[in-house]
């Protein structure tokens, strides 16, 4: 059991000045209990806390660190930008063209792209654009999916909202809530029903093509293609929210993995390389409606700033140069097989979902294919499991409804250590 005196002290102080002591709710350990750990240093697949304890990191800043933290090429590029360029100008810079061109080259659906500063800004902007482009008001999202904290999305949302047991949020007006319809993930009939009940009123369907905020839930074969067909037939903008799965499950994201092309794509996390970046893009005829070319307003003081784009560009260049995806798949398979061996040895029937290097061990024997099956998981057992892993120096998401991320710098020894720790933690979670 690591000694976390300093984290406890800092958390008490933080709660005086910051709501809940954190700048993002899911960090607060609410669903797992205990004190959030204050990290002091990140290096590769490891983080060290303020008390000097080191942890093997499977959160990776909630997805960005597919290459591990403080990658030497990324830190060197940032140092160069700091010394020779600057952190922001509020003017156009050449790097904006470089990253836009590169994203359009990598992601099948992108003909034009706008940089923003977070995934939430990307999804909010994409939905406003879809509404402006179609002249329609309603959107369809999926129960348990999380698209950031924009008002339209905080209706039956996932991630931190689900973790806190507050999938709907006060402060979202009835008018906004009325325009957000919730379908069931992997159930095309539930989507068709909403579309038919709201004929000609649905501007967009927004989906995580790999759901990563209800734990991990893969789209079942044919589901995304059926959504594509429905949107084309009904003149609905299909938005793939690839903030998490983009550049994670494949260089071209889930859309390249599944061969389904959305009208708009939202991105973030990995394309910031650990700095605040988001982006939205897609079909030229839709993107041309974005101000100042078009009339759908969207803006951002620090959008496209040199420091964030440096980290994002270097990350993308490394992903292209090194193609870590086959290795990520090999490593993720080792973890999946190791966990499943442990479950068998202990006579436990818990399910694992995985796409590439994002996965989730659900504390339920029910196959998890949507929100209602995900919430059959025993969050109390997950909490005990989480803390046992933490005591063994393994840092995973402090929520049953988040993903586990493997990076290119997790070694086979790290994986073996994790599998052993998983066995011990499963024993503890059953007590
Ligand atoms: P941000 O605004 O947090 O950068 O991105 C929002 C967002 C949008 N779309 C998807 C698919 C996302 O996963 C996210 C953010 N993901 C969560 C983790 N599940 C962020 C962690 C947090 O809220 O602290």
Same domain? For 47 and 90 the reply is no
Same domain? For 258 and 302 the reply is yes
Same domain? For 249 and 360 the reply is no
Kindly report the CATH number assigned to the domain that includes residue 418: 3.90.1150.10
Task: Give, in order, the Cα–Cα distances in Å from 106 to each of 98, 147, 273, 371.
Answer: 12, 22, 16, 31
Q: Is 177 exposed, middle or buried (0-12, 13-18, 19+ CB in 10 A)?
A: middle
Give me the pLDDT at residue 156, please. Answer: 81
**Residue 268 CB less than 6 A away from ligand 1:** yes
From 357, 355, 361, 364, select the one nearest 388 (Cα to Cα). Answer: 361
Q: How many domains does the chain have?
A: 2
- Among 55, 58, 146, 185, the active-site one is 146
Give me the pLDDT at residue 360, please. Answer: 98
**Of 321, 350, 374, the domain-final residue:** 321
Taking CA atoms only, the protein residue closest to ligand 1 atom 15 is 148
The number of the ligand 1 atom at minimal distance from the alpha carbon of 276 is 4
Same domain? For 81 and 230 the reply is yes
The average confidence (pLDDT) of the chain is 97
**Residue 307 CB less than 6 A away from ligand 1:** no
Q: Is 141 exposed, middle or buried (0-12, 13-18, 19+ CB in 10 A)?
A: buried
Same domain? For 341 and 217 the reply is no
Same domain? For 171 and 300 the reply is yes
Q: Over the stretch 181-200, which tens digit does the pLDDT of each residue have?
A: 999 999 999 999 999 999 99
Kindly report the CATH number assigned to the domain that includes residue 110: 3.40.640.10
Same domain? For 197 and 305 the reply is yes
Query: Alpha helix (H) ranges present in 179-222?
Result: 188-197
The Cα–Cα gap between 328 and 295 comes to 42
The number of the ligand 1 atom at minimal distance from the alpha carbon of 118 is 4
**Of 321, 342, 367, the domain-final residue:** 321
**Residue 305 CB less than 6 A away from ligand 1:** no
Same domain? For 271 and 330 the reply is no
Same domain? For 369 and 228 the reply is no
Same domain? For 106 and 231 the reply is yes
**Of 290, 321, 352, the domain-final residue:** 321
- Among 269, 331, 381, 384, the active-site one is 269
Same domain? For 25 and 119 the reply is no
Give the DSSP H/E element, type plus range, for residue 45.
none
Q: Over the stretch 296-324, which tens digit does the pLDDT of each residue have?
A: 999 999 999 999 999 999 999 999 999 99
Domain that holds residue 379: 5-66+324-429
Same domain? For 144 and 83 the reply is yes
**Residue 304 CB less than 6 A away from ligand 1:** no
The Cα–Cα gap between 235 and 317 comes to 36
CA 345–ligand 1 middle distance (angstroms): 35
Does 133 participate in catalysis according to the annotation? Answer: no
Quote the pTM value: 0.98
Mean pLDDT of 400-416: 98
- What is the share, in percent, of the chain residues with pLDDT greater than 70? 100
Does 137 participate in catalysis according to the annotation? Answer: no
Q: Over the stretch 359-388, which tens digit does the pLDDT of each residue have?
A: 999 999 999 999 999 999 999 999 999 999
**Residue 26 CB less than 6 A away from ligand 1:** yes
Q: Over the stretch 250-263, which tens digit does the pLDDT of each residue have?
A: 999 999 999 999 99
Query: Alpha helix (H) ranges present in 147-288?
Result: 159-163, 174-178, 188-197, 223-234, 253-258, 284-287
Pairing of strands 264-268, 112-116: unpaired
**Residue 272 CB less than 6 A away from ligand 1:** no
Does 41 participate in catalysis according to the annotation? Answer: no
């Amino acid at each position: 059991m690591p000694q976390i005196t300093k984290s406890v002290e800092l958390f008490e102080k933080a709660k005086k000045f910051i709501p809940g002591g954190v700048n993002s709710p899911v960090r607060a350990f609410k669903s797992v209990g205990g004190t959030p750990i204050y990290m002091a240093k990140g290096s590769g697949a490891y983080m060290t806390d303020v008390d000097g304890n080191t942890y093997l990191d499977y959160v990776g800043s909630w997805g960005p660190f597919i290459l591990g933290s403080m990658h030497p090429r990324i830190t060197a590029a940032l140092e160069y930008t700091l010394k020779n360029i600057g952190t922001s100008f509020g003017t156009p810079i050449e790097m904006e063209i470089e990253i836009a061109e590169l994203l359009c080259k990598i992601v099948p659906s992108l003909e034009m792209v706008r940089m923003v500063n977070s995934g939430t800004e990307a999804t909010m902007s994409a939905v406003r654009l879809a509404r402006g482009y179609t002249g329609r008001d309603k959107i369809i999202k999926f129960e348990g999916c999380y698209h950031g904290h924009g008002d339209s999305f905080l209706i039956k949302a996932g991630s931190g909202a689900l973790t806190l047991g507050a999938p709907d949020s006060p402060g979202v007006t009835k008018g906004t809530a009325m325009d957000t319809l919730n379908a069931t993930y992997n159930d095309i009939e539930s989507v068709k029903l909403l579309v038919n009940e709201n004929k000609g009123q649905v501007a967009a369907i927004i989906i995580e093509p790999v759901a990563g905020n209800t734990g991990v839930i893969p789209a079942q074969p044919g589901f995304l293609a059926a959504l594509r067909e429905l949107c084309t037939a009904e003149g609905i903008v299909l938005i793939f929210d690839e903030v998490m799965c983009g550049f994670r499950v494949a260089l071209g994201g889930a859309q390249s993995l599944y061969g389904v092309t959305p009208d708009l794509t939202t991105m973030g996390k990995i394309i910031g390389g650990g700095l605040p970046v988001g982006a939205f893009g897609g079909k030229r005829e839709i993107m041309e409606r974005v101000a100042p070319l078009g009339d759908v307003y969207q803006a951002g003081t620090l959008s496209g700033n040199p420091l964030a784009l440096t980290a994002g560009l270097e990350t993308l260049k490394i992903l292209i140069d090194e193609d870590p995806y086959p290795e990520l798949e090999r490593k993720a398979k080792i973890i999946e097989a190791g966990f499943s061996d442990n479950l068998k040895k202990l006579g436990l029937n818990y399910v694992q979902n995985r796409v590439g290097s994002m996965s989730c061990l659900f504390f339920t024997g029910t196959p998890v294919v949507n929100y209602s099956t995900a919430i059959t998981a025993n969050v109390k057992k997950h909490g005990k499991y989480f803390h046992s892993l933490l005591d063994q120096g393994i840092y995973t998401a402090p929520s049953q409804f988040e993903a586990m991320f493997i990076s290119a710098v997790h070694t086979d020894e790290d994986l073996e250590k994790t599998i052993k720790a998983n066995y011990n933690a499963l024993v503890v979670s059953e007590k």
